[in-house]
Amino acid sequence: MMSKPEAERDWGNQYRLVASERWKAKSAAMGQLATDALVEYAQPKAGMHVIDLASGTGEPAITLARRVGPQGHVTAIDLSADLLEIAEKRAHSRALMNFSTHKADAHALPFANNSFDLGTSRFGVMFFRDPQKALGELRRVLRPGARACFLAWGSFDQPYWSSTVGTVHRRIGGPLLSADGPNPFRFASSGSLSDVLRAADFDCVEEQTRFVPWTWPGSPEEVWEQMKAISVPFRPLLDRVPPDHWPQVDAEVCREVARYSDGENISFGASVVLASGRK
């Protein structure tokens, strides 16, 4: 299991930051419909105070800030101050005055009890060191009756993953993920995230698996370059590729990804898990 300093160093490393900045527009476009699915599921209301965990470069916090309006507020939380700086710039460019960031660990939130009307996290809950503890902390800072809503990845067996890192894995072999490392598919099994929500004392727990569009507006080479740069959980796998094998690996991945391309966009689609609980 990664320690806090190790986790922060990986998630906020310079290579990932450069990639996040370079591909921010296309990454945002690819993930926007998944963001919208979580926001609609969370049902934010005008005037709400929202906490968004593992916000990274700013979603769904920015979309939520638009929904809660000037009388509401969204606080974006992440371990990486550098990623949050990107989120702040994105919010500023949209003239959002009801948005703030806070560098913090989800396992020890620096807020008083009963501070927020809604809690969210998009593709973050899978990477918490101790999900039950983190969700318990979230429950503590939520007001009575408030919901916590999460979006997590479904199974690995879907086009986005199987055509990219899956192609590398089939060629290189060995473990797909480190046994003690971050696992994007931690809650892919039906009911597994619900179990953690119940263990953290949430009531009215719900869970569903949904298919959402997941489309990259560009070439196979671009989406693969972006994936290689930001994909912390698969770094050990990528590091096992011998340097002289990379030209062949890159070409093979791009051929697989191109199967989902219409020449302008790459339409993968994504299987995701939506889950919620109420304090």
* Domains of the chain: residue spans and CATH: 4-278 (3.40.50.150)
Q: Is the pLDDT confidence value at 22 over 80? A: no
- pLDDT range class, residue 232, cuts 50, 70, 90: confident
pLDDT of residue 127: 93
- pLDDT range class, residue 26, cuts 50, 70, 90: confident
Average pLDDT over residues 49-70: 96
pLDDT of residue 231: 82
Q: Give the total residue count for the chain.
A: 279
Average pLDDT over residues 169-186: 94
What does residue 80 show for φ and ψ, rounded to 5 degrees? -100, 115
pLDDT of residue 17: 55
How far apart are alpha carbons 121 and 279 in whole angstroms? 16
How far apart are alpha carbons 133 and 156 in whole angstroms? 26
Average pLDDT over residues 41-63: 96
Average pLDDT over residues 90-105: 96
Q: Which two tokens stand for residue 162?
A: 């199987």
Count CB neighbours of 179 within 10 A.
7
- pLDDT range class, residue 20, cuts 50, 70, 90: low
Highest-pLDDT range among 143-147, 221-225, 235-239:
143-147
Q: In this structure, are residues 78 and 52 in contact, taking their beta carbons and an 8 Å threshold?
A: no
Beta partners for residue 121, in sequence order:
150
- HSE at residue 125, side-chain half, CA atoms within 13 A, is 32
Beta partners for residue 101, in sequence order:
76
pLDDT of residue 83: 87
pLDDT of residue 19: 52
Q: In this structure, are residues 79 and 105 in contact, taking their beta carbons and an 8 Å threshold?
A: yes
Q: Is the pLDDT confidence value at 100 over 50? A: yes
For residue 261, count CB atoms less than 10 angstroms from its CB and return exposed for 0-12, middle for 13-18, buried for 19 or more. middle
Indicate the residue type of 51: I
Q: Which of 32-41, 82-91, 96-105 has the lowest mean pLDDT?
A: 82-91
Please measure the distance between the N-terminal and C-terminal CA atoms of the chain and give it in whole angstroms: 29
Q: Is the pLDDT confidence value at 2 over 60? A: no
| Average pLDDT of every residue of the chain | 92
Residue from 85, 117, 118, 119 nearest 102 by CA? 85
Collapsing DSSP states into helix, strand and coil, what is residue 34? helix
Cis amide prior to 247 (ω within 30 degrees): no
Count CB neighbours of 174 within 10 A.
8
Collapsing DSSP states into helix, strand and coil, what is residue 26? helix
